[in-house]
Amino acid sequence: MLNIQSSIRNSYPLIFLFGPTGVGKTALLDTIFHDNYSIINADSIQIFRYLNIGSAKPDESMLSRIPHYLINIRDPYESFSVGDFVHLSDEALVDIRKQNRIPIVCGGTAYYFKHFYYGLPKSPKSSTEVRELIHQRVEKRGANWAYEELMRIDPPSAAKIHPSDIYRVTRALEVYESSGKPLSSYHVPSSPRKGLNPLIIGLQRDKKELHERIEARVDMMIQDGLIEEINSLLEMGATKEWPGMQGIGYREYFSLTETHSFTLSALRDLIIKNSQKYAKRQMTFFRSIDGVNWVHPNDLARIEELLNLYYFEYV
RNA sequence: GCCGCUUUAGCUCAGUUGGUAGAGCAAAGGACUGAAAAUCCUUGUGUCCUCGGUUCAAUUCCGAGAGGCGGCA
């Protein structure tokens, strides 16, 4: 249908496809994006092996039908970060283009898209050891110490980060600890990386519709054996500290058993609630990305039209 | 039928020694510098069940009624 190598702009087609959980990304891939497309997964939980049902990972048959990158590449106790995502995606991109196929970056992790699109800051990568060290200091010197320390070593970051945001305060301290330079000295890219020029498609449904789909999907997960999946992870030694266990569908199991309030229906309700809240957070992040073509997943005509307009520039 | 408790934000409940009220959850919006399905921020007018009484003033006290829960019959 088109010869990618003939690109007149010396850049290749690239598609971003994103949207909140349950909006229908996977189904859409299966209906229009097969044949000469390859997929780069941008979902921070589907990265992990064994987390199949809870992460709503595409099934085996789909994975064999359409080439997927960055799925099942880590064990659930291993760490993975945006940085890994960007590097591996860049490699995947080269590989896919070598095969004369069209790459689609598809998933729900907005943060991954942002850094893939804009490029990573030069700040040092996260280190579990350093983070642990910072944690110990916080334990020892009290809850207020971390933010006070941040104000001392990096006032600009302290001004931007809320004192209660332990996650970011810790990271800022971690950067200073491992590089000797404040986080604010590393600038954040403010424009997209050169040569990417993606067609950005955002999938959107109205809230009621999305919430109903999420509810139905959680019921389906339970029916498909979510509990069995969790049990087999527990047999592998899974704890709530495993990076993969922060995924919705798994974390609820731990929080409910911890408070001795685990029942199947409590689990179901909590997973639904947390998924719906997550969908909302995803949408506010996605909305902040420039140049998104928002479409309803059922509007195939509009999606075809977007693709044709986009490809027209390349042939 | 009698007795006791209860009725306040979408939900669970605080509270006002009488001067018209506030938490958690939910909801809405937002942030996002290598853990991001994470982490965090902002936003609370609601016949304080109804009617009557006392009072300058009642959601708050008194009486009656209605709903709910429990006990005794």
C1' of B16 to CA of A273 (Å): 35
Asked whether residue A52's C-beta has any atom of DNA/RNA strand B within 7 A, the reply is no
C1' of B18 to CA of A188 (Å): 59
pTM, two decimals, is: 0.92
Asked whether residue A277's C-beta has any atom of DNA/RNA strand B within 7 A, the reply is yes
List strand B contacts in A 66-125 (CB < 7 A): 79-84, 87, 108-112, 114-115, 120-125
Q: What is the mean pLDDT of chain A?
A: 93
C1' of B47 to CA of A268 (Å): 37
Helix axes A82-98, A110-118, angle to 10 degrees: 70
Using the CA of A247, give the nucleotide whose C1' is nearest: B37
C1' of B67 to CA of A70 (Å): 58
* pLDDT tens digits, one per residue of A71-86: 999 999 999 999 999 9
Asked whether residue A50's C-beta has any atom of DNA/RNA strand B within 7 A, the reply is no
- Strands A199-203 and A15-18, how do they pair? parallel
* pLDDT tens digits, one per residue of A172-209: 999 999 999 999 999 999 899 988 999 999 999 999 99
Long-range contacts of A183-192 (CB under 8 A, 24+ apart): A183/A123, A183/A154, A183/A157, A184/A154, A184/A156, A184/A157, A184/A160, A186/A121, A186/A122, A186/A123, A187/A121, A187/A122, A188/A118, A188/A121, A189/A118, A189/A119, A189/A120, A189/A121, A190/A118, A191/A118, A192/A117, A192/A118, A192/A119
- For residue A4, what pLDDT band results from cuts at 50, 70 and 90? very low
- The reported pLDDT for the residue numbered A142 is 79
Residue A224 and residue A53 in contact, taking contact as beta carbons nearer than 8 Å: yes
C1' of B54 to CA of A127 (Å): 72
Report the C-alpha gap between A135 and A128 in whole angstroms: 10
Q: ipTM value, please give it.
A: 0.93
Residue A311 and residue A13 in contact, taking contact as beta carbons nearer than 8 Å: yes
Using the CA of A275, give the nucleotide whose C1' is nearest: B37
Report the C-alpha gap between A224 and A270 in whole angstroms: 18
- The reported pLDDT for the residue numbered A91 is 97
- The reported pLDDT for the residue numbered A185 is 97
* pLDDT tens digits, one per residue of A108-122: 999 999 999 999 999
Asked whether residue A28's C-beta has any atom of DNA/RNA strand B within 7 A, the reply is no
Asked whether residue A271's C-beta has any atom of DNA/RNA strand B within 7 A, the reply is no
* pLDDT tens digits, one per residue of A129-171: 999 999 999 988 877 899 999 999 999 999 999 999 999 999 9
C1' of B26 to CA of A206 (Å): 19
